[in-house]
Structure 1
Amino acid sequence: MTLNVLFAAQPKSWAEYEAPLRSAFAKAGIDAVLSTDIAPADVDYIVYAPNGPVTDFTPFTKLKAVLSLWAGVETMVHNPTLTAPLCRMVDHGLTESMVEWVTGHVLRYHLDMDRFVAGQDGVWRAGTAAPLARDRKVCVLGLGVLGAGCAQALARLNFDVHGWARGPKTVDGVTCHHGEDGLKDALRDADMVALLLPDTAATENVLNAERMALMRRGGFVVNPGRGPLIDDAALIAALDGGQLAHATLDVFRVEPLPEDHPFWAHPKVTVTPHIAAETKATTASEVIAENIVLGEAGQPFVHVVDRAAGY
Structure 2
Amino acid sequence: MMALGDRKTSSAAGGPERHVPVLLAEVLEWLAPERGAIVIDGTFGAGGYSRALLEHGATVIGIDRDPDAIAGGQDLVAEAQGRLILVPGRFADLEDHTRGQGFDAVDGVVLDLGVSSMQLDEAERGFSFLRDGPLDMRMEQSGPSAADVVNELPVRDLIRIIGLLGEEKRATSVAHAIDNARKEKPFTRTLDLANLIEKVLGRSPKKAQIHPATRTFQALRIYVNGELHQAAQALGAAERILKPGGRLVLVSFHSLEDRIVKRFFQDRTRTRGGGSRHMPEEEVPPATFEMLTRKAVEAGAAETDGNPRARSAKLRAGKRTDAPARALDIHTVGVPRLAEFHGLGG
Q: TM-score, normalised by structure 1?
A: 0.29
Q: More strand per residue: 1 or 2?
A: 1
Give the TM-score normalised by structure 2. 0.27
